[in-house]
Amino acid sequence: MKHVNTNFKLSGNDESDLVSFFSGKNNCLTEAPSGNGDFKTYSEEFHERDITSEGLEIGERTRLMLTHPNLDITNFQKSFIIMEVEFEVELEKPIDYEIDDKVGLNQIFVGFKNAVEIISESKYYCKGELINSYSQNEMTRESYYYNLTRPHEIKKGTFKSHSLWENVIQMSPNVCGCYIPIKSFKNNGTPKVKFELVIPFTDQMTLQNWRLYPNAIIGDIVEEIRTSLDGLVWCQIPPENVAKIKQINSYNVTHEYASGFLPFLPNYFTQIGQESRIVGEFKYVEDPDAVIDGLNVNHYSSTLDDKYVKYGLQDNRLFVKNRSAKIRVGRTHCVGFGVKIDVLQRISSALTSEVRIPCLEMKRVLFEHKPTPTGLNTSRIIPIKNITNILFMFPTHFGDFTVYKNIMYKNFQIFIDKKPLPYLAYRNTFDGRFMNLQLMSYELDNTTASPELIESLSVPLNDMSDEDHKRFLNSLYDNTNFGINYQFERGNIGTNFEGFSSNGKQVLIEFKGSPIADGDNDTYYYPHINYNGTTLTANNDHPMPEMWIFSYCYWSLTTDKIEYHQEIPDWYSSQASSYTSTTTTTYTHLDTLT
């Protein structure tokens, strides 16, 4: 999770090799041209299950080429997957009221936070043979948090790969989703949506350290995936934002662009299938005291013609219509180049000894106790091996995959084998100490974290100046990316493996904490409020808290095969425990071979 961030900062290697750090060695290369100016791209359609005119159903397995035989070296860092996804959506409650919205001020967004979240399971093949030991069926969750904790600059620099909240509320095309007019749901409408996903190869956590791959020597790689829409999110775009956009790009003098601020419209993502609040009625009236019956809230704002626009809000759920989801286009774009024969021979000679590329793998484990009104005191007994960090997640619905809010706890701490971590308990889940240590644990210190992550970790859900800590009715920004990360080793761009292990024994992992606010203001135990700010104490799922455990793994490359290893060699583990720096040269990045 952290290696790509340390690489982005050009930091970390010095910490793993202190001799080189102080010796001041010059690492500049002066070599004759290797022929890699022969830069090319090739596209290959998904296969195994071809995408016909009917499309490939979401949920079916398919295979995609990560390399192309016409390339000697494949550049994984620049290659990407393209998908065009199509499906129908429907609202749980019909829109039976008047929607006089010719301009289209009321828009719903539906899509992924990160395009890679469409992949739910993954396997790899090299030269037609399955690469043993790797099989991940939690790809949606794994990819969600891996990409969330990457620098903001990286996520802004790729197109249709990430749905940043700042882009969504401005209806930017640079999102992995689309915008749907609410009026299209009128009369039980089920609008068909279609959008494009761009998935860089290295947005997959297991491929994060892959750079240059000599497929001309080792053989071509194929990935087998299963897709899912469980990671979809949705929300209504603030109508005042849409009004400004429509006025600029498609102004029509005969149309009304009046729109007022709606204080009870959620300003954050909601998981697909979960309840959010949308505009259920929209019409222009002459009388500002006119009432809309049957809906939760009435709101109006003046127009240029002394008319008034009246809104009625309703709580609703958005679903994907059964068996409507298809992949219409699916292909990989492999980027790479050819090299001279003598360079390939030198690379082949280097691969006579094993080259190892580090990666991380996530395992999801549920705790044994649910939250209560007095707090959370939960535990789980498991063995741990080679872990770099444990991420504590707190879903409020059983269907949560990519939406998690701050639990607003105080005096919380974890214990591993009865040892407190950290030694001094956290005061709360949003203060300066908590925030700085969280950013450090993701290697985001001295970089720019995404605003969604900052908002989720640092902005309280309760009014801390109020004696009763009353809950806020809304957020300033999307705040659905909260987790508590505990780091066990300092990332060094993956040049060493020093994950924490319990040496094969079962250990007790505990989490203890209590809510900052009591009763109805406990936003974790009672996550839902209605349109007027009243806490809903019924219909709360209270699922178990979870541990997402990240462990060191590695790929090994030789001239004739690729292997995936979940176990770090015993000889290395014992040698690393002595804190010597000599072992750091054993594991070499493949991109240094060119």
DSSP string for 156-170: HTSSSSB--HHHHTT
pTM for the whole structure: 0.89
Give 401's contacts (C-beta < 8 A, 6+ positions apart).
Answer: 117, 140, 141, 144, 230, 231, 271
DSSP 258: -
Give 267's contacts (C-beta < 8 A, 6+ positions apart).
Answer: 238, 474, 475, 476, 477, 478
Tokens coding 489: 């080793």
User: Distance (Å, rounded) from C-alpha 51 to C-alpha 49?
Assistant: 7
User: Distance (Å, rounded) from C-alpha 85 to C-alpha 176?
Assistant: 10
Residues 537-543: contacts with CB within 8 Å, 24+ apart?
Answer: 540/396, 541/396, 541/397, 541/398, 542/370, 542/371, 542/396, 543/370, 543/395, 543/396, 543/397, 543/398, 543/400
User: Distance (Å, rounded) from C-alpha 354 to C-alpha 296?
Assistant: 65
- The three-state secondary structure class of 481 is strand
Instruction: Tell me the torsion sign for CA atoms 450, 451, 456, 458.
Output: positive
User: Distance (Å, rounded) from C-alpha 556 to C-alpha 562?
Assistant: 6
DSSP 500: B
Bridge-based pairing state of the strands 107-111 and 177-181: antiparallel
pLDDT of the chain along its 594 residues, tens only? 455 666 665 555 444 443 344 344 444 445 566 676 778 899 999 986 666 667 889 999 999 999 999 999 999 999 999 999 999 999 999 887 777 777 888 999 999 999 999 999 999 999 999 998 888 999 999 999 999 999 999 898 889 999 999 999 999 999 999 999 998 998 889 999 999 999 999 999 999 989 889 999 999 999 999 999 999 999 999 988 998 898 888 887 767 777 767 778 899 999 999 999 998 888 777 766 665 555 554 554 545 456 677 788 889 999 999 999 999 999 999 999 888 888 888 888 888 888 888 888 999 999 999 999 999 999 999 998 888 899 999 999 999 999 999 999 999 999 998 999 888 999 999 999 999 999 988 888 878 899 999 999 999 999 999 999 999 989 999 999 999 999 887 665 555 677 788 888 999 999 999 999 999 999 999 999 887 778 988 878 899 999 999 998 899 988 888 999 987 766 555 544 443 333 333 333 344 333
Which residue is listed with tokens 């129908």? 88
